[in-house]
Chains A and B, each alone.
Chain A
Amino acid sequence: MQYDVAVIGAGVVGAMITRELSKLDMNLVLLEKAGDVAMGSSKANSAIVHAGFDAETGSLKAKLNVQGASLMAYYCNKLSVPYKNIGSLVVAYSWDDMQTLETLFERGFENGVPNMEIISQERLRAMEPYISEEAIGALWAPTAGIVSPYELTIAAAENAIMNGARVKRNSGVFDIEYKNDMFYLSTATGVIKAKYVINCAGIFADKIANMIGDTSFKLIPRKGEYYLLDKTERKMVNHVLFQCPSAMGKGILVSPTAHGNVLMGPTALDLDFDSKLDVDTTIEGLNEVKFSVNGVIPQLTTRNVITSFAGLRAHRVGDDNDFIIAPSKENEHFINVAGIESPGLTAAPAIARYVGKMFREMDPSYEKKAEFISKRPAPIRMAELSPEERAEVVKKDPRYGRIICRCEGITEGEIIDAIKAPCGARDVDAVKRRTRSGMGRCQGGFCGSKVVEILARELDIPMNKVTKHGNGSKILYNKTK
């Protein structure tokens, strides 16, 4: 199959760029090595929309962060993705910290972050009643927020498919050849031909660039570990709470999630160049999170923890840590979108528009589609409906009356929708990311086996072919005696 553009990597950036390019009349494909979209950094990050005062003024990071923050509400509305504009607070504990807040304020102002304030201890206390008594003030940034990052990725991929793009999963690229003005991408599912390539391969973007001889940048995995707490803890925290930043990043934060849980983390530990798959949690990392959060909200404990996890940031080696969004020096038809660490999620909508513009300037021959569908319809969420609304839905389709996941109240109808959707779920974790079945406090203890059953039935495969997260992550072996 021959394409005009092949996007490599279905993280939030790759998916959003694909959606943007699906506005143009062209053959477009999104290639992903994992069994689902959003399987790398996009599913394991802080899920924060940053206001934009961290990045160095004048950098691409700063510009796209501020733009992304102001675009996020629009995109989440179009794509029906959970987003809440709750604002963020950088909390200060000392006069040195207060000095840092001034610096952040100045930088934020230069970057174009609107409506920031440095607030008093009293006002901070009023906004966050459980905050440590040691806290003496904060930088308030009302444009910050929280978003569901994997749902944004899934929704963007679905919407791109609605507009004619193809999404090929389990199609990791292992070799690239360029001849007669055409890229030949060798993938796990065959050779893909494309006139243009956009490299959004996250932590592996350097390896993909190497395939065309581009060795201009190198990425190392910077691991961050997190705890996700039960919804019972939601009352303890109202905004995104940062501590004052350090050289390694923005420090360990505490925040509600878009679904009403509480997230705490991340740590920041640089791993070897070869450890790009290491998302193991560690005793040291998790203890660091616990210890650090204790200083912010002393009453918040991990007694009601739902799970812990780790994610990797694609961190550039060297002094320059700005985003790389430019055609490769080796081949101008190959655009690198690399080193997209924090605030990459926030910036994703702005990155998509930036790359879209860059592409149209490079090749103006593609017309805009007249019939572009910008809206991805919202999936049915039974737990969010009133008893009367639920009754209406069940009347039309009784499968929405059969609850499979008790903790989150997810029905069989919603799970089938997730499987049948344009970029449908193919494994248990994929169902979980789309529906929240198994996201609750029992962690799939009850619904896990039922989801396996439903997947097997809907995909017409035996139960022991259903996986947890694709490839070799099988759940069941042979039949019993």
Chain B
Amino acid sequence: MLKYDLVVIGGGPAGMAAALKARECGVQKIIILERAATLGGILEQCIHTGFGLHYFGEELSGPEYAYRFIKELEKTDIEVKVDTMVTDILPGNVIVATNNKDGVMQIHTTAIILAMGCRERPRGALDMPGSRASGIMTAGTAQKYVNIDGYMPGKKIVILGSGDIGLIMARRMTLEGAKVEMVCELMPYSGGLTRNIVQCLDDMGIPLKLSCTVIKTHGIERLEGVTIANVDERRRPIPGTEQYVECDTLLLSVGLIPENELTRMAGIIIDPVTNGAIVDEYRQTSRPGIFACGNVLQVHDLVDYVTEESQIAGEGAAKYILSKGKSKSRNGKDIHVKAENGVRYVVPQNINRSTDKDVKIYFRVADVYKDKRVVVTCGDEVLYNKKKKKLAPGEMENVTIKLDDIAKLSSNEITVKLEA
């Protein structure tokens, strides 16, 4: 059996940053297992720019952002196995992985960082009636066909969902000569970043139809058109608003789902809102020695935040490994972080009272809000209170709780909420 101090599952931006940080903190034997043929994860097909503004202070393309980490990895002796899929996490931190060179490997490790990323919500999960024609695919699949394989997946396009990948693909398909008829969004607001709406739709003259959805697909072989309709406040189609739109392609950008199959297999507790593991401030899951970061933990809108989060997990794993598992024994004095009143979720959900630095709490809001205060309380005590001009579900927010405040907390629960 192979033996490592740290196995990182996933070689995208999360896995790479976590591995590098763990090395920097002194972990010796590290291996990254990546299922694709190259490191970089989904960044490899994101050839548009906009990556790295926060982290590097420059605007990079996806592959450029990834390359900076790949280059750093090459300077270390961190091992990498690509085209390698982890199939099981067995009790006693044994990982089973397979590829076409080593066959089936069993790897024993002290700690694991889960960095498997996320996948797109497919058509089947949408309850969208109609035919089973070809030409209906997720925006990310279309992005791979265009940017990696060099083929156009269609000519006349409707996009359902205004998630960032959908917006990016609206522009990309237009630049490649396709006609993007419209982007339909079920909600009364977009789920994407404002900058993407401006640059990818407004600048390209593509209409964004809010409170609108696809209620039927037409065509037996290739897609021939879709019927769209407006929806009411309860997101039900409004009779009489149906409209037929001719198109050969329907791209779906209707949400991302963290890929937590292995996490569940390992018996780790999952947060029903984030669909990722419940973690502490070092991103340690409910199973000691197993950490999670990046889109497998919570879906991010910026890779810069993925990097930041993954470095925290890398540092946490290093502490765990170097203290031989003693650094973070749960002693029942954890502080639980609660989301309330307009805040949908928080990460981390738990903080160790004995932690050693300030803790940044990431969160998303449930709706579009204007001029609301973000408030963090512990009992009657207010730890944070700041007015925000605009809050939207598409943009991840964060607040920092000071180390001094954490040590002095009067109860074991703090609450993040919005107030008028």
Contact = CB atoms under 8 A, between A and B. Distances in A.
Nearest to A399: B100
A169 interface: no
B39 to A, nearest CB: 17
Interface in A358-403: 387-388, 390-391, 394-395, 398-403
Interface in B143-170: 144-146, 149-155
Nearest to B119: A442
Given A394-B100, A477-B154, A280 B119 contact: no
A463 B151 contact: yes
B382 interface: no
B35 A481 contact: no
A476 B153 contact: yes
B101 A398 contact: yes
Nearest to A409: B87
Given A282-B129, A309-B132, A463-B149, A387 B220 contact: no
A443 interface: yes
A468 interface: yes
Contacts of B151: 463-464, 476-480
Interface residues of B, number: 51
Nearest to A290: B127
B133 interface: yes
A472 B222 contact: yes
Contacts of B124: 228, 305-308, 443
B400 interface: no
Interface string B92-124: 000010111111101000000000000110111
Contacts of A443: 122-125
A445 B122 contact: yes
B145 A476 contact: yes
Interface in B54-106: 83, 85, 87-88, 96, 98-104, 106
| Residue of A398, A400, A442, A453 contacting most chain B CB atoms (<10 Å) | A442
A248 interface: no
Given A390-B98, A478-B152, A448 B106 contact: no
A473 B144 CA distance: 19
A467 B102 CA distance: 33
Nearest to B136: A468
B177 interface: yes
A78 interface: no
B23 to A, nearest CB: 28
B133 A473 contact: yes
Interface in A398-431: 398-403, 406-407, 409, 412
Contacts of B350: none
B127 A387 contact: no
Contact of A401 (B88, B104, B127, B134): B104
Interface of A: 228, 277, 279-283, 285-286, 302, 305-309, 387-388, 390-391, 394-395, 398-403, 406-407, 409, 412, 441-446, 448-449, 453, 463-464, 467-481
8 contacts: A283-B129, A309-B132, A387-B87, A394-B103, A443-B123, A477-B154, A478-B151, A481-B176
